[in-house]
Structure 1
Amino acid sequence: MARSQQVTTSVDTVVSRLRALDASLPARDGVAVFNRVYLAVTEAVDRRIDTGGFTDARAATTLDVRFAERYLAAVDAVDDGRRAPACWRPLFQFRRHPGVRPLQFALAGINAHIGHDLALAVVDSCRALRCEPADLEDEFDRVGDLLVSLEERVREELMPGPDLLQIADPLTHLLGSWSLERAREATWSAARALWALRGLPDVAEAFTERLDAAVGFAGRMLLTPLP
């Protein structure tokens, strides 16, 4: 498998950008809540790359950077007065809603980034590295494992303690309907489908639009204001 193209942005550069966002946003802002979560993930990936935790460090770097660029492009679009992808719009629209809890913001961002951006990042990486999705599966799985462990920590830290025991609480019901593991499995299938459709640009574009809209719909449900 030929891997000749270089990654022009490093993971350290991505981390610096995420830290700058963290410093510039109010702590309670919904985008800031997700950004803190994503910063922790990206720092963990960076450490694992530096310590040889990925079989192919170049592939892992490419996937991580292409992945991050999707989120940062959405942030830039909103800052410039343009529309973000449909998957990100609910988070930006509800980012200051007083009835949405921090855990909802975090998971809505994870939903957008995993459900939509990661599939496109796999395709972007395959094109950059001139490889097949199967060649990136190990890196995809390792990044996914970090996300799953982080999601568990996020739920523990941001879920109000008593709600864990109150099965009638609306937040418990709402968040119980979404699973990062299922989202990750769906994303891998979507990435493979998009790669298979690369020779049919009109079909691939329609598929991407439907994926974007579906993930955005799920994000809107996750951000349902609660009493």
Structure 2
Amino acid sequence: MDAALPPGDGVGVFNRVYLSVTEEVGRSLAAGYFGDAAATEDLDVRFAGRYLAAVDAAAAGRRPPACWRPLFAARERARVRPLQFALAGINAHIGHDLALALVDTCRARGAEPPALAADFDRVGLLLTRIEERVREELMPGPDPLEAVDPLTHLVGSWSLLRAREAAWSAFRALWGLRGMPELAAELAERVDASVGLVGRVLLTPLP
């Protein structure tokens, strides 16, 4: 996918960021960083699968989840900066896909949410360092300040930490509703829609 997506493609921007994150998690798995490497790897694969399913849906002309639609719709907009594309993809993946992947992992492994909590936090520490690097690499330089200021304001309003906290809360709520599938599906739909709304804001065209 990385080789096939052109440099200016918004999905390609996110894909390159996600590839670097996945490689970093892979190195951490090999180094014994996680308490339960098997469960973390299982979660990582299920998590990635939701992004790849959204890519496949868009490529086939089907509608991806609402959280992903803003990124696919805006992928060729000239007045959207690379950092906006990256954060919109991270927002969709963390805000929606992560909660569902956590539920799927618990179900598949017969585990309860506390079994994933410690390694969830360990991944968060990795992502915080990577987010700082991504912002530094994709943020425009100091000239001209008039063009950069709106971008600084826009991307500064979104927080990876808060998005992960919201994803964990959504996961716990969905897990608590697992015996009531209609309510769980309604909650998942609402999370999807709200994350999509944030994505549209992050992709606001800038002067």
TM-score, normalised via structure 2 length: 0.96
Q: Does 1:124 align with 2:104?
A: yes
Q: Give the equivalent residue in structure 2 for 1:14.
A: none
1:163 is displaced (CA, Å) by 6.5
Q: Which residue identity lines up with residue 99 of structure 2 in the other structure? A: A
2:118 equivalent among 138, 152, 170: 138
Q: Does 1:108 align with 2:88?
A: yes
1:53 equivalent among 33, 43, 46: 33
Contact 1:167 1:173 in 2 (8 A): no
Q: Give the equivalent residue in structure 2 for 1:153.
A: 133
Q: Deviations over 1:5-49 (max 9, x none)?
A: xxxxxxxxxxxxxxxx00000011000000000000100111111
1:183 equivalent among 143, 163, 170: 163
Q: Which residue identity lines up with residue 180 of structure 1 in the other structure? A: L
Contact 2:113 2:172 in 1 (8 A): yes
Equivalent positions of 1:1-227 (< 5 A) are 21-162=1-142, 169-227=149-207
Q: Which residue identity lines up with residue 67 of structure 1 in the other structure? A: F
Distance 2:153 2:187 in 1: 30
Contact 2:99 2:170 in 1 (8 A): yes
Q: 1:68 to 1:164 in 2, by over 3 A?
A: farther
- For the aligned residues, what is the CA RMSD? 1.5
1:148 is displaced (CA, Å) by 1.6
1:203 is displaced (CA, Å) by 0.3
1:202 is displaced (CA, Å) by 0.3
Q: 1:167 to 1:22 in 2, by over 3 A?
A: closer
1:186 is displaced (CA, Å) by 0.7
Q: Deviations over 1:72-95 (max 9, x none)?
A: 000011111110000000000000
Distance 2:157 2:9 in 1: 24
Distance 1:73 1:163 in 2: 39
Q: Which residue identity lines up with residue 179 of structure 1 in the other structure? A: S
Q: Deviations over 1:151-181 (max 9, x none)?
A: 1111111111217976981111111111111
Distance 2:147 2:113 in 1: 40
Q: Which runs of 5+ in 2 are unaligned?
A: none
Contact 2:140 2:148 in 1 (8 A): no
Q: 1:93 to 1:168 in 2, by over 3 A?
A: closer
Distance 1:183 1:27 in 2: 27
Q: After TM superposition, where is structure 1 displaced by more than 2 Å over at least 4 residues in a row?
A: 163-168
